[in-house]
Structure 1
Amino acid sequence: MPELSAERANTFIWADLACPDLPAAQRFYGELFGWSAETSPDPAAGGYGFFQKQGETVAGYGPAQPGQPTAWSVYVGTEDAEATVQKVQAAGGTVVVPPFDVLDQGRTAVCHDPEGAFFGLWQPIRMAGTDVSGKPGTICWHELQTRDWRGAVRFYPQVFGWDHHEGSYGDGVYVEWKRGESNVGGCFPMPAGVPAEVPPYWLIYVAVSDCDASSGRVSELGGQVMVQPTDIPDTGRFALFQDPQGAACAMLQLKQ
Structure 2
Amino acid sequence: MTDMTGKFFWYELMTSDPQAALTFYGDVVGWTSKPFGDALNGGTYHVLSGSAGEMGGVMAIPAEARDCGMTPWWGGYIGSADVDRDAERLVAAGGTLMRAPEDIPDVGRFAVMRDPGGAVFMLLKGSSPDAMAAPTPMATGHVGWHELYSGDFDADLAFYTGALGWAKGDAMDMGDMGSYQLVSQSGGSDFASMSGGIMPRPKEMPMPAWLFYFTVGDIDAAVDRVTAGGGTILNGPMEVPGGAWIIQASDPQGAMFALVGSKDAA
TM over 0.5: same fold? Answer: yes
How many residue pairs match? The answer is 248
Q: Is the 8 A contact 1:57 1:131 kept in 2?
A: no
Aligned position for 2:21 = 25
Segments of 5+ residues of structure 2 without an aligned counterpart are none
Q: Is the 8 A contact 2:99 2:111 kept in 1?
A: yes
Aligned position for 2:169 = 165
Q: Is the 8 A contact 1:142 1:202 kept in 2?
A: yes
Q: Does 1:207 align with 2:211?
A: no
What's the offset of the Cα at 1:158? Answer: 2.9
Q: Is the 8 A contact 1:49 1:61 kept in 2?
A: yes
2:194 match: secondary structure:
strand
Indicate the larger mover: 114-123 or 149-158. Answer: 149-158
Structure 2 vs 1, CA of residues 65 and 17 (structure 1 numbering), >3 Å: closer, same or farther? same
Aligned position for 1:188 = 199
TM-score normalised over the length of structure 2? 0.85
Structure 2 vs 1, CA of residues 188 and 55 (structure 1 numbering), >3 Å: closer, same or farther? closer
Q: Does 1:48 align with 2:45?
A: yes
Structure 2 vs 1, CA of residues 211 and 254 (structure 1 numbering), >3 Å: closer, same or farther? closer
Q: Does 1:252 align with 2:252?
A: no
Structure 2 vs 1, CA of residues 130 and 37 (structure 1 numbering), >3 Å: closer, same or farther? farther
Q: C-alpha distance in 1, partners of 2:39/2:251?
A: 27
Q: Is the 8 A contact 2:46 2:58 kept in 1?
A: yes
Q: C-alpha distance in 2, partners of 1:54/1:153?
A: 32
Q: Report Cα offsets for 1:159-188 as digits up to 9, x if no partner.
A: 211222341154342112223213342212
Segments of 5+ residues of structure 1 without an aligned counterpart are none
Q: C-alpha distance in 2, partners of 1:247/1:183?
A: 25
Structure 2 vs 1, CA of residues 109 and 129 (structure 1 numbering), >3 Å: closer, same or farther? farther
Question: What amino acid maps onto 2:135 in structure 1?
Answer: V
Question: What amino acid maps onto 1:173 in structure 2?
Answer: S
Structure 2 vs 1, CA of residues 5 and 252 (structure 1 numbering), >3 Å: closer, same or farther? closer
Question: What amino acid maps onto 2:172 in structure 1?
Answer: S
2:246 to 234, 238, 246: 238
Q: Report Cα offsets for 1:124-169 as digits up to 9, x if no partner.
A: 2128557736312222121111242112112222321122234115
Structure 2 vs 1, CA of residues 170 and 231 (structure 1 numbering), >3 Å: closer, same or farther? farther
Structure 2 vs 1, CA of residues 49 and 169 (structure 1 numbering), >3 Å: closer, same or farther? farther
2:160 match: secondary structure:
helix
1:174 match: secondary structure:
strand
2:144 to 140, 144, 153: 140
Structure 2 vs 1, CA of residues 9 and 43 (structure 1 numbering), >3 Å: closer, same or farther? closer
Aligned position for 1:83 = 85
Q: Is the 8 A contact 2:52 2:135 kept in 1?
A: no
What's the offset of the Cα at 1:42? Answer: 5.0
Q: Is the 8 A contact 1:110 1:120 kept in 2?
A: yes
TM-score normalised over the length of structure 1? 0.88
Structure 2 vs 1, CA of residues 233 and 55 (structure 1 numbering), >3 Å: closer, same or farther? closer
Q: Report Cα offsets for 1:56-99 as digits up to 9, x if no partner.
A: 21211111013232100001111011111011110111100111
